[in-house]
């Protein structure tokens, strides 16, 4: 590539079904707030222009779905100055038409089982600079596109679509809120099972099953259940270890509704843990509350991180806070903005983020408390509402 550029810049019902990323037509909960999918193309075009591009070739499946509503596993979007072209194969002919129509996107659809060289070359006629998604395009694909587009200059762009995804509309927030409500209900259902001494894997399976039974299309990520000394490992996958009494248990989970994800962590215990573990938990819970209080539009993102870390530092556990303070949530479980000490950009109304401080004491215990919150004009509105009490039952 010849250049690199980037843009500047009370719970609802929980009984419904949805399908995501299947070859059949998706079934959407009928009572979800509508999303403005059709309005996204112009915002992405503007980001491409800021990056010095006359047109964009979008190949990341998440970006394709964001622009079109299409959930198939094979497709690309040509976003020209006046046209949005979706190219996919014959498996998705009916699905592409139905999903773009349902999303209200005026896309031209081309169906081919052959490499779409001629289709894209015709669309790109006269275009001087074409933006590619640098984080999604391999060197082999870049060389192929260079052949397809001939004399056009290929520009490596970063974050053009992702930047637009930072601010959620009412429909996107509704989907994340539904996913969060399902996760809340699933945890409430499964929480009493800890008293029976199950393994971490058994609890994780019960949570995943409860999420689907209550209407999620799946888990937002691999559910984490980590107990005792395992809780000192922030992202440990569940093991065959039986959960003991008096141990801290980290449960990190989320649901998917119509492609959008939620994220929540609670720290539990079957019986009162020892004094050190109690102090760890109480410090983390306080730090998380203080961080959420800093979620105000216009305030620098780093202030959220600072509030959490200052509380943990005051207890002498600065070195035991070993992961980030939070992140954006939406079509991906981790997306912009990143809640960290170097993030000077201001929070904006409509962003959906997590606040998730933790303390991890190697060989002993760990604790994390996390909410997904939406930035509102007045501050932060939690979308995850499970109790933050330590007791499991």
User: Could you say which of 123, 142, 165 is where a domain stops?
Assistant: 165
Say yes or no: 251 and 378 in one domain: yes
Dihedral Cα 100, 106, 112, 114, nearest 10 deg = -110
Say yes or no: 191 and 151 in one domain: no
User: Could you say which of 165, 188, 223 is where a domain stops?
Assistant: 165
Cβ count within 10 A of residue 80: 19
User: What are the pLDDT digits (tens) for 254-313?
Assistant: 999 999 999 999 999 999 999 999 999 999 999 999 999 999 999 999 999 999 999 999
Say yes or no: 216 and 287 in one domain: yes
In a domain, 182, yes or no: yes
CA dist 192 → 67, 113, 199 (Å): 42, 52, 14
pLDDT for residue 393 = 65
Say yes or no: 65 and 206 in one domain: no
In a domain, 390, yes or no: no
Highest mean pLDDT among 19-28, 173-182, 384-393: 173-182
Say yes or no: 244 and 112 in one domain: no
Say yes or no: 130 and 213 in one domain: no
pLDDT for residue 28 = 55
Is 0.85 surpassed by the pTM of this model? yes
Average pLDDT (201-206) is 98
Say yes or no: 291 and 365 in one domain: yes
Per-residue pLDDT band at 391 (split at 50, 70, 90)? confident
Task: Tell me if 40 sits within 8 A of 67, measured CB to CB.
Answer: yes
Task: Tell me if 180 sits within 8 A of 172, measured CB to CB.
Answer: no
pLDDT value at 328 more than 80 = yes
Round to whole Å and give the CA distance between 66 and 102. 13
Say yes or no: 95 and 212 in one domain: no
Round to whole Å and give the CA distance between 120 and 40. 21
Report the CATH number that the domain containing residue 122 is assigned in CATH. Answer: 3.40.350.10
Residue whose structure tokens are 């600079």: 129
Say yes or no: 150 and 177 in one domain: no
pLDDT value at 370 more than 60 = yes
In a domain, 205, yes or no: yes
pLDDT for residue 348 = 98
Say yes or no: 241 and 135 in one domain: no
Say yes or no: 148 and 246 in one domain: no
pLDDT value at 228 more than 50 = yes
Lowest mean pLDDT, pick from 11-25, 50-64, 293-307, 337-351: 11-25
Domain with 153 in it? 3-165
User: Could you say which of 143, 165, 187 is where a domain stops?
Assistant: 165
Say yes or no: 149 and 258 in one domain: no
pLDDT value at 153 more than 50 = yes
In a domain, 391, yes or no: no
User: What are the pLDDT digits (tens) for 93-121?
Assistant: 999 999 999 999 999 999 999 999 999 99
In a domain, 387, yes or no: no
Per-residue pLDDT band at 392 (split at 50, 70, 90)? confident
Per-residue pLDDT band at 30 (split at 50, 70, 90)? low
Report the CATH number that the domain containing residue 237 is assigned in CATH. Answer: 3.90.230.10
- The token duo for 66 is 């964001």
In a domain, 377, yes or no: yes
**Number of domains comprising the chain:** 2
């Amino acid at each position: 590539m010849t250049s690199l550029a980037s843009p500047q810049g009370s719970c609802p019902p929980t009984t419904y079904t949805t399908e995501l990323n299947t070859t059949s037509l998706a079934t959407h909960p009928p009572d979800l707030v509508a999303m403005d999918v059709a309005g996204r193309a112009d915002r992405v075009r503007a980001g491409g222009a800021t990056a010095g591009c006359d047109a964009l070739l979008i190949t990341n499946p998440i970006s394709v779905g964001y622009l079109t509503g299409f959930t198939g596993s094979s497709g690309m979007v040509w976003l020209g100055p006046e046209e949005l072209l979706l190219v996919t194969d014959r498996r998705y002919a009916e699905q592409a038409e139905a999903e773009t129509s349902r999303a209200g996107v005026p896309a031209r659809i081309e169906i081919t089982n052959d490499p779409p060289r001629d289709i894209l070359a015709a669309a790109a006629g006269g275009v001087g600079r074409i933006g590619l998604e640098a984080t999604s395009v391999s060197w082999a694909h870049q060389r192929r596109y260079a052949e397809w587009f001939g004399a056009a200059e290929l520009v490596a762009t970063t974050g053009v679509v992702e930047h637009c995804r930072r601010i959620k509309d009412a429909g996107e927030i509704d989907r994340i809120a539904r996913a969060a409500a399902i996760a809340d209900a699933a945890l409430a259902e499964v929480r009493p099972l800890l008293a029976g001494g199950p393994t971490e894997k058994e609890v994780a399976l019960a949570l995943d099953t409860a999420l689907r039974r209550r209407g999620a299309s799946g888990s937002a990520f691999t559910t984490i259940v980590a107990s005792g000394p395992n809780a000192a490992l922030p992202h440990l996958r569940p093991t065959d270890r039986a959960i003991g009494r008096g141990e801290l248990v980290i449960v990190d989970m989320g649901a998917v509704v119509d492609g959008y994800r939620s994220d929540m962590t609670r720290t539990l215990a079957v019986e009162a843990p020892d004094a050190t573990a109690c102090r760890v938990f109480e410090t983390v819970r306080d730090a998380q509350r203080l961080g959420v209080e800093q979620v105000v539009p216009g305030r620098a993102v780093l202030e959220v991180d600072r509030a959490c870390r200052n509380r943990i530092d005051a207890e002498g556990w600065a070195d035991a806070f070993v992961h980030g303070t939070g992140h954006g949530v939406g079509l991906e479980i981790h997306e912009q903005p990143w809640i960290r000490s170097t993030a000077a950009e201001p929070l904006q109304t409509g962003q959906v983020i997590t606040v998730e401080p933790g303390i991890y004491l190697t060989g002993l215990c760990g604790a994390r408390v996390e909410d997904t919150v939406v930035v509102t004009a007045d501050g932060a509105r939690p979308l995850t509402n499970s109790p933050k009490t330590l007791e499991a039952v």
